[in-house]
Amino acid sequence: MKTVRVAVAGLGVVGSETVRLLRSRRESLARRLNAKLELVAVCDRAIHSKARGLRLPAKIKRFSDPSRLAACGADIIVELLGGLPAPRSLVLDCLRRGRHVVTANKRLLAHCWPELRRAQSHGSLHFEASVAGGIPILKALDLSLAGDRIEAVGGILNGTTNFILTRMSEGLGASAALKKAQELGLAESDPSRDLNGQDAADKVSVLASLVTGSWQKPDRIETQGIEGIESQDIAFAQSVLGRRIKLLGMVRLKDRGVEALVCPFLVPLAHPLAAVRDEFNAVLVQAASAGELMFYGRGAGAGPAASAVMGDICVAARDILSGVRAEAAADRHAEARPASSPWSFYLRLAALDRPGVLSSVASVLGRRGISISTIHQPGATGSRSVPIIITTHPTSAEDFCRAKREILALSSVSRQHMIMRLLP
Amino acid sequence: MKTVRVAVAGLGVVGSETVRLLRSRRESLARRLNAKLELVAVCDRAIHSKARGLRLPAKIKRFSDPSRLAACGADIIVELLGGLPAPRSLVLDCLRRGRHVVTANKRLLAHCWPELRRAQSHGSLHFEASVAGGIPILKALDLSLAGDRIEAVGGILNGTTNFILTRMSEGLGASAALKKAQELGLAESDPSRDLNGQDAADKVSVLASLVTGSWQKPDRIETQGIEGIESQDIAFAQSVLGRRIKLLGMVRLKDRGVEALVCPFLVPLAHPLAAVRDEFNAVLVQAASAGELMFYGRGAGAGPAASAVMGDICVAARDILSGVRAEAAADRHAEARPASSPWSFYLRLAALDRPGVLSSVASVLGRRGISISTIHQPGATGSRSVPIIITTHPTSAEDFCRAKREILALSSVSRQHMIMRLLP
């Protein structure tokens, strides 16, 4: 029986679980692959305590410096280090040596896509775990739907914020919901990349780059997190609009244009995404022939991420065993340019509680040609400032932003505001 | 640019759509694959009218006899003939000649699995479209979840019956709902294989064989269709039990045992499968590491099936271009044996409307050690016979069947009855 040698860099929760699975599922994997998957090396900054914790046999090589892993004799290198510089040099080095690399590092992919793709003409790169954890969305897009035409892909890509929004919809305040997520290990001690949408934007970048075949830089993806969402938005969305607030990451393709964005959406209660609760993820795909598909599952956690990593290890092992040569990465839509489409918007303002405010806001929108769907001004709260909540009919984001700036410049309107979009 | 030659056998709705897509997406596929996919031959019993309808150029070879397709020079042969004998000999012939074969034929796979697997050691066989149409469930199980341990897989695998049950839940009678499905092209003129669960059983057989690595014959899968379901079952499930009736196909793996069945289930309203309406399919996967995953989409129709076929063609083309050798199919769990687990049952009886009937039924269940959850005897309808509806706590299927036989032998109980299971 042939042997495929595997090395794992980074023994955090996902790395440790991957090592555990490589060892505990050894026999069933050997039956499946008709070959042995052998763990030959591990690497971690705190290698001694980590290797002891995992009770690794002495024959497995241990490194604390990831740069030594590329030459350790492994056929497949699994990169689960986290961060950017060390993973980048490890992955590029391994690929250039013709190795197969598995990574869950969405930041690395989002920020270094072109050089990774170029390096892939030597070795092969697998990254199912980088988007939506245990949900096999990337292979679905890359293989199963290879002959179809993807029109849109996106959904709930960040479990932390979905957990927080779920708790808020049950009445918890934003900071209490975050604290709950941290207690349960669903949010990091510094949750800013989750809350501000950057984590989701990295995933949207990976999805968009994969689907279009050309790099969609994260800094060109319009990104808004959940930080400005208040309990009154959630309550208003549910009771008045019959909608739930979800942070969605989305890629839409039209002709050769790409619209990519991350922002809070008001989702109709009957929409499948409205039912996705807690830390679960869900990805919708709109394809020309297959129609609408939905993939639902756990987007984070040691088990789901390790499941995706193990799947990639098996695919890489099959490629090695069957003698696949690495594919030169074709830039399919090198000319993909940014695009945007009309959306219905939600705008919450804080205004002075005096006559004429509403009409001055409405007249700005009217002048800009933006059609109002609803205006709500909940009863005065006794304070000087009252909320005004406006929803619009579909309008271009540029027009809406211009109108918003004019409205916020009105003397009777505070700078504080919240914008979301309505999912049709 | 290299060329991969494709032949399509069977120009029904899916075959015609596949030919159309191969031609209309020619350029985007060439960019994706960095190679040309060229349609070189088609085959159909009514080849002349079909080829004319598709406006095929003259250089494409046309056959009415599928047996001539194996030697037509194509690298990939797409089998969409339908039926069993002709597809079987075409596919085996092509595989033995080392060709790559794509098929959507679930009956062929379910009934000829072992010889197809053996023949695969020469050519390769792709069959994503055979289960759940456009939903990429098979590649998810075979590739993405290759390193995970599948514990269960199943769900709504037949769109026709799901459409009928959806209409019945809205008040339509069974035969009117079937007629509606036929009008919309969602049911064939002879819908018996859909209604009696055989179509779903073939799909369960494919899923079970793929997941276990050993053939799970369709005739050993306990199969019950939707034929006995009456409007009163649907109404009772909704109003009294808070559940919806769905025809589910299911595979559960325990140790080395396999439980495979197709039957109507009462699904809790809050369960994701309860929300799957009309002709849509949904597949749930329970995996040891990834947890619960759901895949949702269109299970039938020309577009979704052709999308899956096109995906398989692309995967086969990549294998050809990268020089993959066909894999010898390893029998992973050759010893998989039938298993069964306890279920809660629903039993509808028709009994004489006289005192003591209920207690005699209850006492049979008691003697057999079956614990009753609820008994309902809707008010007398004026007729001699009244329905009795019983739900049980989890019990073994053998015990339940024995009790059922005893109950149906009671003089006060009619032979007419309906059994379903309750999904936890």
Q: Which residues contact B354 (CB under 8 A, 6 or more apart)?
A: B412
**Which residues 207-226 of A have a C-beta within 8 angstroms of B?**
213
- For A29, which of B147, B304, B324 is closest by C-beta distance? B147
Residues B179 and B245 in one domain: yes
**Cα separation of A194 and A279, whole Å?**
12
CATH number of the domain that A6 lies in? 3.40.50.720
Closest CA to A275 of B6, B296, B310, B115: B296
Q: Is there a domain that residue A330 lies in?
A: no
Would residue B39 count as lying in a domain? yes
Asked if B349 and B33 count as a contact pair (C-beta separation under 8 A), the reply is no
For residue B239, the tally of other CB atoms under 10 A from its CB is: 8
Nearest CA in chain B to A290: B304
Please determine, for residue A160, whether its predicted confidence score (pLDDT) is greater than 90.
Answer: yes
Chain B CB contacts of A31 under 8 Å are 213, 330, 332-333
Place of tokens 């001694």: A48
Burial B292-323 (b: 16+ CB within 10 A, else e): bbbbbbbbbbbbbbbbbbbbbbbbbbbbbbee
Q: What does each of the 424 residues of chain B score in pLDDT, given as a tens digit? A: 899 999 999 999 999 999 999 999 999 899 888 899 999 999 999 998 888 889 999 999 999 999 999 889 999 999 999 899 999 999 999 999 999 999 999 999 999 999 999 998 788 999 999 999 899 999 999 999 999 999 999 999 999 999 999 999 999 999 999 999 999 988 888 999 999 999 999 999 999 999 988 899 999 999 999 999 999 999 999 999 999 999 999 999 987 789 999 999 999 998 989 989 999 999 999 999 999 999 999 988 899 999 999 999 999 998 888 776 655 445 555 556 778 889 999 999 999 888 889 999 999 999 999 999 999 987 666 677 889 999 999 999 999 999 999 999 999 999 999 999 999 9
- Above 80 in pLDDT, residue A328? no
Residues 123-142 of B with CB under 8 A from A: 128, 133-136, 139-140
pLDDT digits (tens, 9 = 90+) for A3-59: 999 999 999 999 999 999 999 999 989 988 889 999 999 999 999 888 888 999 999
Q: What is the distance between the alpha carbons of residues B135 and B132, in angstroms, rounded to a whole number?
A: 6
Q: How far apart are CA B103 and CA A389, in angstroms?
A: 54
Contact B145/A303, CB-based, under 8 Å?
A: no
Contact B250, B259 (CB under 8 A): yes
Tell me, yes or no, whether B237 lies in a domain: yes
pLDDT, position B326: 57
Helix axis angle, A357-367 relative to A397-408, nearest 10°? 150
In this structure, which amino acid lies at residue B263?
Answer: C
Do A86 and A172 reside in the same domain of the chain? no
Whether residues B120 and B149 fall in one domain: no
Q: Choose the final residue of a domain: B289, B322, B355.
A: B322
**Same domain? B162 vs B287:** yes
Share of chain A above pLDDT 90, in %: 79
Q: Does A223 fall in a domain?
A: yes
| Mutate which: A14, A24, A307, A325, vs B, most B CBs within 10 A | A307
Structure tokens at A67: 């740069």
Chain B positions touching A328 (Cβ under 8 A) are: 34
Among A287, A322, A357, identify where a domain stops.
Answer: A322
Flag whether A66 is in a domain: yes
Assigned domain for A119 exists: yes
Q: How far apart are the C-alpha atoms of A196 and A201, rounded to whole Å?
A: 9
Domains held by chain A: number: 3
Residue A335: predicted pLDDT = 54
Element (H, E) at A325: none
Q: Domain holding A383: CATH number?
A: 3.30.70.260
d(C-alpha A260, C-alpha A31), whole Å: 42
Closest CA–CA distance from residue B376 to any residue of chain A (Å): 32
Same-domain status, A311 and A371:
no
Is A338 part of a structural domain of the chain?
A: no
Is residue B193 located within the same domain as residue B293?
A: yes
Which candidate, B350, B85, B341, places its Cα nearest to that of B222?
B341
Instruction: Tell me which residue in A32, A148, A309 faces B332 most closely, judged by beta carbons.
Output: A32
Return the exposure string of A143-163: e unless at least 16 CB atoms fall within 10 Å of the residue's CB, then b: bbbbbbbbbbbbbbbbbbbbb
Same domain, B284 and B154: yes
- Which residues in chain A have their CB less than 8 angstroms from residue B294's CB? 294-297
Q: List % helix, strand, coil for chain B (3-state, nearest 5).
A: 40, 25, 35
* Residue A46 domain flag: yes
Residues of A in contact with B303 (CB under 8 A): 288-291
What CA–CA distance (Å, rounded) separates A298 from A303?
Answer: 9
Which of B343, B344, B350, B345 has the alpha carbon at shortest distance from B408? B350
Q: Quick check: is B180 catalytic?
A: no
Domain that holds residue B374: 344-422
Backbone φ and ψ of B418, nearest 5°: -140, 135
Q: The pTM is what?
A: 0.91
Residues A98 and A141 in one domain: no
CATH of the domain at A262: 3.30.360.10
Q: Which residues of A are catalytic?
A: 203
B135, closest residue in chain A (CA to CA): A293
CA angle centred on B287, ends A26 and A164, rounded to 5°: 125
The 3 state secondary structure assigned to B174-187 is HHHHHHHHHHCCCC
A19 and A100 fall within a common domain: yes
Residues A74 and A39: their CA atoms lie apart, in Å, by 8
Q: Say yes or no: A110 and A195 in one domain.
A: no
Residue of chain A whose alpha carbon sits nearest to that of B285: A297
Residue to substitute from A14, A17, A128, A143, interface B, most B β-carbons within 10 A: A143
Asked if A269 reaches chain B (Cβ–Cβ under 8 Å), the answer is: no
**pLDDT tens column, A118-132:** 998 788 999 999 999
Shared-domain flag, residues B34 and B174: no
Nearest CA in chain A to B32: A332
Q: Which residue of A has its CA nearest to B310?
A: A147
Å from B213 to nearest chain A CA? Answer: 8
- The residues pairing with B338 across neighbouring beta strands, listed in sequence order, are B258
The DSSP bridge pattern shows strands B337-338 and B385-392 to be unpaired
Is the pLDDT assigned to residue A235 strictly greater than 60? yes
B158 in the same domain as B291 = yes
A332 pLDDT higher than 90: no
Beta-carbon contacts of A15 under 8 Å, excluding residues fewer than 6 positions away, are A8, A9, A42, A44, A78, A80
Cα–Cα distance measured from residue A192 to residue B370, given in angstroms and rounded to the nearest whole number: 55
